[in-house]
Structure 1
Amino acid sequence: MADTDFNAQVRETILHLLAEANRVPFLFVGSGMSRRYMGAEDWDGLLKWVCENAGSPMKPYFQYKLTAESEGDGKKNTVYPHIASLMERDFLDAINQPKFADWVETHRAEFESGISPMKIYIADHLSSFQPTLMTEELDILRKATRHVAGVITTNYDGLMESVFPKYDVYIRQEDLLFSPLMGIGEIYKIHGSATDPSSMVINER
């Protein structure tokens, strides 16, 4: 089957299901969206980026990954937090390098309040990404605002906020549990947000 035929079939199937449901859909957005429109990494890629950029005494990423896989149950949703926990110990030593001196001073108050330096390092990295790829597709999605009830995303970045700027954003679990949610015009960042590094679900803790 040609790609165009397949795409048309998928489109028709989705339109049929939406018409049958007779309600406005919620979008579930994973790292594929951020990779496509901003060139950002997925969870695995972010952890690898930390290893490659932090420097000594960080080990090559594959060592953390193999250790975590050998110590865990092999499930993706538990292996990455375990990898991050292993990495954090070495990252704390890595930031003693002179190249981190200004960065540490900038974030000292956050570290002293108990926020993980590695989470802040990742959040800073993610803040450099902007939706500059395939912008014509994003423009179409922006125009569909009134046809999208809300967004649930595992991404830390601000892509969805840039697409739906008028939607209310909920980041922390307590926001979801104790806020008067409307169920429409809302973005639920269930793994936290780079705008609040302490909220980011990365390690086992």
Structure 2
Amino acid sequence: MSASRLFLQERGFLFAIFLPPSWDGLLEKMTHKHSTIDENYGFWRQTRDPKEVGQILAEKYAELAWDKNTQRFSGGEFLDYEKGQDYYLKTEIAEYSQEKTPESVNDLSEEDVDDDISLEQAMREIEALRDIQPHAVITTNYDEFLERIFNDESFHKGESSEDEGEGERYEVVVGEEILKTQFRSLGEILKIHGSATDPESLILTSDDYANFNNRKRYLSSKMLTYFAEHPLLIVGYSASDPNVRKILSWVNNAPPNDRNIEEDIYFLKYEDDLESQEDFSTEKRIQLEDGSFMTVKRILARDFDWVFEAFASSEGFEADVRYLRKLVANMYEVVRKESPRAQVVDHQQLEDIATNEDELATVLGISSVGDSPGVQLNHPLSSNDLTDQLGIGGVPSLKSKVIRPIYDDEDINITAFNNRYHVAFFEENSSESRRYSEEAIDLFEKVMDGEDYDLRIPDSHIPDEDISSRGYEIE
């Protein structure tokens, strides 16, 4: 299995961790939320499927909104005849979803966790899930808990994030925006049935599903970008769920390539009573929309953390996902747009970069030698250059006047790892050479003058492990 994974998650379930009501449970709750909607949900469901019930319920909520005797939808934004009839039910569901979703993973409580597992187990599963760093997550859920998992720095670091200016680690793409967005195939949460942050984006009623199906061939072509390249882990679904059948039908339509896509599809199913299971088949045969079948790999588990850890055991992204996504996006823009100054493309250099890993590494500033052009571009100063410009007597003074004070203030030895101020080429725990950026001059002068300074190194870029021995000794 490759290091980067693609996940699919259904409405109502987050890997047996966070459990808002099921699809039926959600609609039933909306049916009984207002006394003026005096209907028996079970009676509706005897003859209709959930999306048909959603259509009926949307009409009931519209009647409620325009009833002069109720105050629930009395605001000006509601009394707009240009709104669709389903707007009021979707608003109610979106607000309910926002209310029930914890503000952060750290706010998760026993009440939010399924009765079959403990809060401690849930947190282990979430941590293991986050560590996988999948290429993308596809979900039909409305809530924002996936965003909390993959973008919440405080959960990962145990402290508040000061990295807001760098953007979210995983970009959230909602509803029809998926059709408009130029995919980077990297670091995205694709909410194909809408998000609670935008009630009108929710796929809920029969009309919504009809419109969704009309666009599914465009959506499927977008999804094939992922399916053709990455393993797919399906979690939280029943094998008979129409969403599973739809997704696997898309996969089945992928053009053939060097790998058998079916061999890289995993169906993870929660099973509380494993001891009583007689069938531990490692394969699952699932019927598709057109009546054909696909056989995928099956995993039965009571606890999901070991499964997630297995998927994360390969080497993951070495760099923060958000910067890889920006790199891909900017490379795309540079290549595609026409220059107003009619600049000439050096095709030979472009070919060299595309076909030679060493050339590409140089362009990206990756090198095993200190005189790499990529490194010189961003960190052009040697230690001697740096101390000369600062007007101090060599490395010993640098340690005492700059590196040590920063360590005392921030508990960070900036010479122990690569960052915007300092780069070193480490051999085990020693360094052959160190280089510094022009930005380091401004920072170090402020430190030496006793001025206030801002150490602009995001928490996500500071290594978790103790690597202080790599830096200058400052004790």
Q: Which of 26, 37, 47 is equivalent to 1:46?
A: 26
1:123 aligned residue: 94
- Asked if 1:136 corresponds to 2:138, the answer is no
Contact 1:152/1:188 (<8 A) preserved: yes
Cα separation, 2, equivalents of 1:144 and 1:111: 46
* Code of the aligned partner of 1:144: I
Amino acid corresponding to residue 94 of structure 2 in structure 1 = A
Give, in whole Å, the separation in 2 of the partners of 1:34 and 1:59. 30
Q: CA deviation at 1:202?
A: 0.3
Q: Indicate the residue corresponding to 1:81 in structure 2.
A: 51
RMSD over aligned Cα atoms: 2.2
Cα distance between partner residues in 2 of 1:44 and 1:123: 16
Pairwise CA distance, 1:187: 0.7
Q: What whole-Å deviation, never above 9, does each CA across 1:169-205 have from its counterpart, x for those lacking one?
A: 11122x2222111111001101111110100000012
The alignment partner of 1:164 has SS state of helix
Residues 33-72 of structure 1 correspond to what in structure 2 (within 5 A)? 33-34=13-14, 36-68=16-48
- Higher RCO, 1 or 2 (CA under 8 Å, sep at least 6)? 1
Question: In the alignment, is residue 104 of structure 1 matched against residue 73 of structure 2?
Answer: yes
Q: Which has the larger radius of gyration?
A: 2
1:36 is paired with a residue whose SS is coil
Structure 2 distance, partners of 1:26, 1:111, is: 42
Give the letter for the 1:86 counterpart. Answer: I
Counterpart of 2:357 in structure 1 is none
Q: Which of 56, 59, 63 is the matching residue for 1:93?
A: 63
Question: Structure 1 residues 123 and 97 mapped into 2: Cα distance closer, same or farther (>3 Å)?
Answer: farther
Question: What residue in structure 2 maps to residue 26 of structure 1?
Answer: 6
Using the size of structure 2 for normalisation, the TM-score is 0.33
Contact between 2:174 and 2:192, CA under 8 Å: does it hold in 1?
Answer: yes
**Cα distance change on mapping 1:38 and 1:203 into 2, 3 Å:** same
Q: Distance in 2 between matches of 1:184 and 1:31?
A: 22
- By how many angstroms is 1:23 displaced? 5.1
Instruction: Report the AA paired with residue 105 of structure 1.
Output: S
- 1:132-171 aligned at under 5 Å gives the runs 132=108, 133=113, 134-145=122-133, 148-165=134-151, 166-171=169-174
Q: Deviations over 1:155-177 (max 9, x none)?
A: 0110111111120111122x222
Aligned to 1:192: 194
* Identical positions, percent: 23
SS at match of 1:126: helix
| Higher relative helix content | 1
CA distance in 1, matches of 2:198, 2:28: 21
| Cα drift, residue 89 of structure 1 | 2.0
- 1:1-56 per-residue CA deviation (whole Å, 9 max, x = no partner) reads xxxxxxxxxxxxxxxxx2xxx35110001135348333301211110110121222
1:73-116 residue CA offsets vs partner (Å, 9 max, x unmatched): xxxxxx22111111222223344486x51x4134x415525151
Range 194-203 or range 108-117, more displaced:
108-117
Structure 1 residues 142 and 35: alpha-carbon distance in aligned structure 2, compared to 1, 3 A threshold = closer
The secondary structure found in structure 2 opposite 1:64 is helix
Instruction: Name the SS for the 1:170 alignment partner.
Output: strand
The Cα shift of 1:140 comes to 2.3
CA–CA separation in structure 2 for the residues paired with 1:128 and 1:136: 24
Runs of 5+ consecutive residues of structure 1 not aligned to the other structure:
1-17, 69-78
Amino acid at match of 1:55: S
- Cα distance change on mapping 1:23 and 1:110 into 2, 3 Å: farther
The one-letter code sitting in structure 2 at the alignment partner of 1:140 is A
**2:128 corresponds to which letter in structure 1?**
I
Whole-angstrom CA distance in 2 between matches of 1:52 and 1:88: 13
Say whether the 8 Å CA contact 1:58–1:87 is kept in structure 2: no
C-alpha separation in 2, matches of 1:137 and 1:201: 28
The worse-fitting range, judged by mean Cα deviation, of 191-200 and 39-48 is 39-48
Q: 1:46 to 1:160 in 2, by over 3 A?
A: same
Deviating runs (4+, > 6 A) in structure 1? none
Shift of 1:143: 2.8
> Partners of 1:155 and 1:140 in 2: how far apart?
20
Equivalent residues of 1:58, 1:94 under 8 A apart:
no
Secondary structure class of the residue paired with 1:180 = coil
Aligned residues of 2:11 and 2:142 also touching (Cα < 8 A): no
Partners of 1:167 and 1:186 in 2: CA distance: 5
The answer (yes or no) to whether the contact 1:111–1:117 under 8 Å persists in 2 is: no
